[in-house]
C-alpha cells in the first residue's frame, strides 16, 4: 500500500471514517504518521472545547472567589480546591464511573459515558478551576491606581468592571493563561487511558502511538512522531494567544510589552 | 498477588452471608484484597520517597551542568531539560518504560552474548539472548514486581529531574551577583564560592518552584497505573467492579465510583497537608535571607 493510499484510508480513522482494520503487520512510518495525526483530531477537539468553555466559566468562578459574600465565595474556593488538589487522572476515572452510575439510574445520561461528552466535561471543569485561579490572581493584581482613576472618572458597577477591571485582568492573566491552554491541551492525552473507552479503536494521538509501540515493540518511532505533532500544535497555540495578547496590550508603550512572554516548555501534569 | 478472600482479622467474619450493616462492612474492608489495596497506598508513598530525592539530584546535576564552563556539558544538560519538558509528559512515561527496559536488555546482551550474530530488531520483534532478559523468566513474581517498580521510579526521576533542573537553574541565576563578587573578594575559589555561597542561598529561591513540583509529583503518582504497577488505581478498579456471589463471599454492585471518590479524597488531603508543611518550610528558609520575605520576618522579629 502506497503512502497516499494509507493517508486516504486512515486520515480520519479516529472519527470512524475510512478503513476499519488497523495495520497489524508491516507497519510503515507512513502508517504511524497518518494514524497518530488522525488521533490528533481528538486532542484538538478536546483542547478547543475545554479552552473555549473554560475561558468563560473560569472568569465567573474567579469573580465568585473575589466576592465579599461568603455564600458565593466559599463554593468557588471549594471548587478550585477540589479540581486543583487532586490528579486529573483520578478525576477522569471518578467522572467516568459517576456518569456510568447516573446512566443506570437516568437514561438522560446515556452519552455521558462516551469520551466526546464525558471527558470533555471533566476537562472543562478541570481547566476552569486552574484558569479561575489564574484570573483570580490577576484580579487581585489590578493596579490600585487604575481603580482610583475609574472612580475619579465616575465609573461604577458593571461599566467599571467592563471598561477598567476586566481588560486589565485579562491583560495581566494572559501569559499564564496561555500556559494553561498548553497544559490542558497536553492533558487531553489522558482521556483514553482513564476509563473512557476508545470505541472501535477510535482513539487520540497517544492511543495510536502506544498501539504502535505495543505492536512494533519499538517506542523510538511513534513517540517522537507524537512529540512532533504536539510541538506543532503548541506553536499554533502560542501564535494565536500571542496575537490576542498583543491586542490586549496595544495601548501600552512598546518597551513594556516584551517583558512577559509565554514559554514554550512549561507544561506539567495535572 | 493472590490473597485469600476470607478475612483473617475478625473471628465473626467466618460466615459473611449472615452478616449485616457495620459488621458486614468491617469484614468486607479487611479482606485480603483490601489489605493489598491499603498496601498500595504505601507503594505510592514509597515511590514519592524514592523519586523526590532522586529527581532532585538529577535536577541538581542538570542545573550544575547548565552552568558548566565546558560547552558540550552545558549543551547536554540544556538538551536534557528542553527535550523532556517539551514533550507531553504522559507520552514520555509510556516511552521511557519500554525504552529503558530495552536499553537495559540491549546493554546486558552486548556484555553477556558477544557472539550473537542475529540482528536485535527483526521486523516487529525485539530479540535478545535468553541470558540478557530482564528479569529472568525463572525469577520469582516479586522480582518482576520490583523490576517494574524500579523502572517506574527511574522514569519518574528522569522526567521530574528535568523539571527540577529547570527550577534549580533559575534559582542559581536568582542569587544576587554581589554575593559571588563578595566571595571572590574574600579569596574563595570558584568551587568554594559555588558550594559555600551559591548552594546554600539558592534554596530559598528554588523553594516556590520545588513546592509546586512536589504537588505536581503527588498528582502524577496515579500514572503508576499506566506503567503497569499494581497501585491504588489498579486496586480501586479491581475491588470496585461488580462482584457476584459465585466468586466472592462479599457480592456487591458496581462500586468503582465510591472507590475513586475515596482516592480523590486521599489526594485532596495529601496535597492539603503538603501545602501546610511547605508553607512552614518556606517561612523557615526565609530567615535571614536578602529577600522581601526575609525582610518581613526580620521586621516582625524586631517589633516583637
Ranges of each domain in chain B: 27-303
User: Do residues A137 and A179 lie in contact, with contact meaning Cβ atoms separated by under 8 Å?
Assistant: no
Domains of chain A: 44-198+220-257 (1.10.3720.10)
Q: How confident is the model at residue B89 (pLDDT cuts 50, 70, 90)?
A: confident
Question: What is the distance between the alpha carbons of residues A37 and A52, in angstroms, rounded to a whole number?
Answer: 23
Quick: pLDDT tens for A98-156: 999 899 888 888 888 888 999 999 999 999 999 999 999 999 999 999 999 999 999 98
User: Do residues B40 and B262 lie in contact, with contact meaning Cβ atoms separated by under 8 Å?
Assistant: no
Quick: pLDDT tens for A78-91: 999 999 999 999 99
Its pTM stands at: 0.85
* Chain B interface disruption, residue of A24, A40, A94, A104, most B CBs within 10 A: A94
Quick: pLDDT tens for B35-63: 888 888 988 899 999 999 999 999 999 99
DSSP string, B211-265: HHHHHHHHHHGGGGGGGT---HHHHHHHHHS-B-TTT-SS-B---HHHHHHHHHH
DSSP string, chain B: ----SS-SS-GGGG-GGG--HHHHHHHHTTSHHHHHHHHHHHHHHHHHHHHHHHHHHHHHHHHHHHT-SSHHHHHHHHHHHHHHHHS-HHHHHHHHHHHHHHHHHHHHHHHH-TT--S-SEETTEE---GGG-SS-TTS-HHHHHHHHHHHHHHHHHHHHHHHHHHHHHHHHHHS-HHHHHHHHHTT--HHHIIIIIIHHHHHHHHHHHHHHHHHHHHHHGGGGGGGT---HHHHHHHHHS-B-TTT-SS-B---HHHHHHHHHHHHHHHHHHHHHHHHHHHHHHTTT-SSHHHHHHHHHHHH-
Length of chain B: 304
ipTM value for the complex: 0.86
Beta-strand ranges (E) seen in A29-123 are none
Quick: pLDDT tens for A155-179: 988 999 999 999 999 999 998 898 8
* CATH tag, B27-303: 1.10.3720.10
Peptide bond into A100 cis (omega under 30): no
User: Do residues B33 and B40 lie in contact, with contact meaning Cβ atoms separated by under 8 Å?
Assistant: no
Chain A residues with beta carbon closer than 8 angstroms to that of B262: none
What confidence score (pLDDT) does residue A234 get?
A: 85
Residue B126 has its nearest CB partner, among A93, A217, A231, at A217
Q: Which residue has the cell 474567579?
A: A62
* Chain A interface disruption, residue of B88, B163, B170, B273, most A CBs within 10 A: B88
Quick: pLDDT tens for A28-71: 889 899 999 999 999 999 999 999 999 999 999 999 999 999 99
Question: What is the distance between the alpha carbons of residues B241 and B253, in angstroms, rounded to a whole number?
Answer: 7
pLDDT (mean) for B130-151:
80
Among chain A, residues having any CB pair with chain B shorter than 8 Å are 25, 27, 81-82, 85-91, 93-94, 97-98, 100-101, 186, 189-190, 193, 206, 209-210, 213, 215-220, 223, 226-227, 230-231, 264-270
Q: How confident is the model at residue B1 (pLDDT cuts 50, 70, 90)?
A: very low
What confidence score (pLDDT) does residue A266 get?
A: 41
Burial letters B179-207, b for 16+ CB under 10 A, else e: ebeebeeeebeeeebbeebbbebbebbbb
Amino acid at each position: 500500500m502506497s503512502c497516499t493510499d494509507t493517508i486516504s484510508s486512515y486520515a480520519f480513522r479516529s472519527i470512524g471514517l475510512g478503513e476499519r482494520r488497523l495495520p497489524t503487520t508491516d507497519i510503515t512510518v507512513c502508517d504511524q504518521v497518518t494514524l497518530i495525526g488522525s488521533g490528533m483530531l481528538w486532542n484538538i477537539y478536546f483542547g478547543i472545547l475545554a479552552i473555549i468553555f473554560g475561558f468563560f466559566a473560569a472568569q465567573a468562578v474567579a469573580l465568585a472567589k473575589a466576592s465579599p459574600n461568603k455564600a458565593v465565595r466559599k463554593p468557588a474556593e471549594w471548587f478550585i480546591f477540589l479540581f486543583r488538589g487532586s490528579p486529573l487522572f483520578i478525576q477522569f476515572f471518578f467522572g467516568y464511573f459517576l456518569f456510568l452510575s447516573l446512566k443506570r439510574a437516568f437514561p438522560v445520561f446515556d452519552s455521558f459515558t462516551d469520551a466526546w461528552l464525558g471527558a470533555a466535561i471533566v476537562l472543562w471543569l478541570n481547566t476552569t478551576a486552574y484558569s479561575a485561579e489564574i484570573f483570580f490572581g490577576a484580579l487581585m493584581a489590578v493596579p490600585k491606581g487604575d481603580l482610583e482613576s475609574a472612580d475619579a472618572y465616575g465609573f461604577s458597577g458593571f461599566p467599571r468592571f467592563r471598561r477598567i477591571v476586566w481588560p486589565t485582568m485579562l491583560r495581566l492573566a494572559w501569559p499564564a493563561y496561555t500556559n494553561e491552554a498548553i497544559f490542558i491541551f497536553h492533558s487531553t492525552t489522558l482521556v483514553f487511558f482513564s476509563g473512557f473507552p476508545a470505541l472501535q479503536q477510535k482513539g487520540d494521538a497517544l492511543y495510536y502511538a502506544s498501539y504502535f509501540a505495543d505492536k512494533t515493540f519499538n517506542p523510538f518511532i511513534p513517540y517522537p512522531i507524537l512529540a512532533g505533532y504536539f510541538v506543532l500544535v503548541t506553536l499554533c497555540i502560542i501564535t494565536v494567544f500571542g496575537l490576542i495578547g498583543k491586542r490586549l496590550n496595544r495601548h501600552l508603550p512598546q518597551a513594556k510589552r516584551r517583558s512577559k512572554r509565554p514559554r514554550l516548555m512549561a507544561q506539567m501534569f495535572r | 498477588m493472590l490473597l485469600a478472600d476470607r478475612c483473617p482479622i475478625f473471628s465473626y467474619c467466618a460466615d459473611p452471608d449472615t452478616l449485616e450493616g457495620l459488621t458486614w462492612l468491617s469484614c468486607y474492608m479487611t479482606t485480603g484484597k483490601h489489605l493489598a489495596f491499603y498496601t498500595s497506598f504505601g507503594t505510592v508513598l514509597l515511590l514519592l520517597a524514592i523519586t523526590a530525592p532522586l529527581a532532585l539530584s538529577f535536577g541538581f546535576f542538570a542545573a550544575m551542568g547548565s552552568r558548566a564552563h565546558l560547552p558540550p556539558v552545558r549543551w547536554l544538560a540544556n538538551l536534557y531539560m528542553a527535550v523532556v519538558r517539551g514533550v507531553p509528559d504522559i507520552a514520555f512515561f509510556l516511552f521511557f518504560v519500554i525504552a529503558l527496559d530495552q536499553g537495559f536488555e540491549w546493554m546486558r546482551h552486548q556484555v553477556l552474548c558477544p557472539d550473537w550474530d542475529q540482528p536485535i530488531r527483526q521486523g516487529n520483534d525485539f530479540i535478545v539472548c535468553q541470558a540478557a532478559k530482564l528479569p529472568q523468566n525463572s525469577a520469582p513474581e516479586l522480582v518482576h514486581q520490583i523490576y517494574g517498580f524500579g523502572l517506574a521510579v527511574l522514569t519518574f526521576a528522569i522526567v521530574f529531574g528535568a523539571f527540577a533542573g529547570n527550577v534549580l537553574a533559575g534559582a542559581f541565576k536568582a542569587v544576587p551577583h554581589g554575593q559571588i563578587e563578595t566571595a571572590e573578594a574574600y579569596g574563595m575559589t570558584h568551587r568554594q564560592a559555588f558550594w559555600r555561597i551559591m548552594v546554600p542561598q539558592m534554596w530559598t529561591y528554588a523553594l516556590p518552584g520545588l513546592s509546586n513540583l512536589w504537588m505536581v509529583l503527588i498528582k502524577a503518582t496515579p500514572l503508576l497505573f499506566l506503567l503497569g504497577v499494581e497501585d491504588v488505581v489498579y486496586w480501586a478498579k479491581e475491588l470496585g467492579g461488580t462482584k457476584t456471589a459465585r466468586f466472592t463471599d462479599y457480592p456487591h454492585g458496581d462500586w468503582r465510583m465510591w472507590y475513586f471518590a475515596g482516592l480523590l479524597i486521599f489526594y485532596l488531603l495529601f496535597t492539603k497537608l503538603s501545602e501546610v508543611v511547605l508553607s512552614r518550610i518556606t517561612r523557615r528558609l526565609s530567615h535571614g535571607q536578602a529577600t522581601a520575605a526575609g525582610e518581613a520576618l526580620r521586621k516582625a522579629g524586631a517589633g516583637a
